[in-house]
Each structure stands twice: as structure tokens, then as C-alpha cells.
Amino acid sequence: MLPAGMRRYGPPRREWEAPGNRGAPTDTPAVVNPIAVHDPADPRVADFLALNDPDLRRLREQTGGTSGGFFIAEGAPVIRQLLRSAYRVRALFLTPRRLDALAGELGGIEAPVYVGQPEVVNAVSGFHLHRGALASADRAPLPTLAAVLAGTDRVVVTESVNDHENLGALFRNAAAFGAGAVVLDPTSADPLYRRSVRVSMGHVLRVPFARATAWPAALGELRAAGFEVLALTPSPHAEDLWTVGASARHALLLGAEGPGLSPGALAAADRRVRIPMAPGVDSLNVATAAAIALHHLSRARR
């Protein structure tokens, strides 16, 4: 019988789950030491509770963790990126199938690895998690603007990009085309929100980013650091992107879909550039536009 006030989580443990015998079953590498979870109410997997509730996630993820917050990585490819990053992993929550896929990469991990059947993982997360793999990791203190600008000659700058999927795609494009950092204005979305991390395919964990505290004054800091600020706009009065050649340093400035860049941001840029398009099409998705522009800048540098 359990002491008063204590609750058993799930059915009795099998031999390999028993306290003091944390070895894995024979078909799982012993170094993984998985911990079975049978009850969605098990507090050990609280990091992964109600992932489908944005308000609850923002509240919990911004206040927990040793660095003042934590974030969630979803899917085996993203978790692999996390394991190679500088972020401290708090816990993993996997289905048996995903444990098998990741077991060979978990040998040196110190964080607990929880394993649950798909129905348990789905009940905890709040939706059908067909990827079957979750990890939580502590956030790290954000670097300064000067720190992320050092050592790179190409950066992406966002203003009011508040769609998490667009932001994640921007980070993936930045990594693909050699942008060394992303600078966020105060109103852009959180790059470490689960959807951003997932859509970025984990590249948000390897591309440095900083958040500007003063806007659009931060664009002046970029210019002072030697960057030519290129404001990407669909305006017919902007110059053709293809006219931009190799430069010492470029900062590609992007605004939200719909409103685009603010007058203050446009005024603070060195040049306004546009991607030439067929008649009747006035704009592109912001991540798509960024990919085209970054590809051109990378070719110009070569």
C-alpha cells in the first residue's frame, strides 16, 4: 500500500522499470534508461502538458526552467538538432517507436527519457502527435545585438513577423543561405515557440538571434556596424533586387505579411528593393520572399 497522499501512476512497473533496476528491455540500448509513463496525469511529464493551449504554454514556458524559461522541440529531426545544440535538455517524452529511432543518439544524455504509448503521449500533449517525439529544453539568455552581428556579413531582420510558422521558415532559410544571425524587433514572435522550432526543422537552435530593444533605432546600430540595410518591399518604386551586388555586409529587412514594413523602418533602411514578379501578383509569402532574396545575396557574394 502507498503512503497517504501518494498516488501510483499507471499499472505496476515491469522488471526493467522498477526502482533500482533502470535497465532497458533487451531490444533497447541499456544506456538510454527509459522510464515508462502510463498515466497522462503523471507530473513527471508536466513540461509537455496541453501543447495545444497557446496561452497556457506561453505562461508556463516563460516562467519555468533554470534560465527563466523553457521550450518544446517536436519530432525526431528537430530533437536531433537539439541534442547537437548548446541548449540544456530537461526531458524527453517518446513513443516506443521513436525511442527505437533515437536510442543510438541518447547514450550520453543526462535528462530523463520518458516513454509512453501513443495514446498516453496524445492525452498529455492535447492532440494527435503523429511525430511521437517531444523534448523540453531550458532557454538561454539572449545575446546582445553586437554579439550576434560579430563574425557574420549577412543577417535577417524582422519587423512584426508574428506568425510562428513564417518565423520558423525564415530561420530555416537563413541557415540554408548563409545568414549568420536573425535580429527580431520587439513585436516579432517567439522563435522558440513550438511551431517555430518545428517549422525551422531545428535550425532556430543553431542560428543565433537577438531581440532589439529600441525600434527602429536598432537599424542605425546595424548601419554603424557596417551593414547595408536592404528593406524588402513590393513597392513599384523600389529598385530591382537583382541590381544589388556583393557588399561587405548585408542586412535583409522583412516585414509582416499584409502591412509590410513601417514607414519608420523603411526610412531607416539604406535601400528599398523588390523582387520582380509577373503582372497581377504584388507580393509573396514573407518566408518565400526571404528565401529568394537570401539566395540572390549568397550568389552575389560568391
Packing angle between helix 286-301 and helix 164-176, nearest 10 degrees?
10
Pick 145-301's CATH classification: 3.90.1170.50, 3.40.30.10, 3.30.565.10, 3.40.1280.10.
3.40.1280.10
Per-residue model confidence (pLDDT) at position 67: 53
Q: Which of 302, 301, 297 is nearest to 174 (CA)?
A: 297
Residue 211's SS3 state is strand
Cβ atoms of residues 210 and 181 within 8 Å: yes
DSSP 8-state code for residue 69: -
Return the domain boundaries, the chain.
15-138, 145-301
- Cα-only R_g, the chain: 23
Letter string b/e over residues 177-212, b meaning 16 or more CB atoms within 10 A of that residue's CB:
bebbbbbbbeebbbbbbbbbbbbbbbbbbbbbbbbb
**What is 15-138's CATH number?**
3.30.1330.30
Q: Which of 65, 52, 288, 70 is nearest to 190 (CA)?
A: 70
Q: List all residues 6 or more positions away from 244 whose beta carbon is below 8 Å from its beta carbon.
A: 230, 250, 271, 273, 296, 297, 300
DSSP 8-state code for residue 177: T
Same fold, 15-138 and 145-301: no
- pLDDT by residue for the chain (302 residues), tens only, comes to 333 333 333 333 333 333 333 334 444 444 568 999 999 999 999 999 999 887 777 777 776 555 569 999 999 999 999 999 999 999 999 999 999 999 889 988 899 999 999 999 999 999 888 789 999 999 999 999 999 999 899 999 999 999 999 999 999 999 999 999 999 999 999 999 999 999 999 999 999 999 999 999 999 999 999 999 999 999 999 999 999 987 779 999 999 988 899 999 999 999 999 999 998 887 899 999 999 999 999 887 76
Alpha carbon of 72 to those of 112, 133, 166, 285: distances in Å?
15, 10, 18, 26
Per-residue model confidence (pLDDT) at position 66: 54
Give dist(CA 89, CA 86) in Å, integer.
Answer: 9
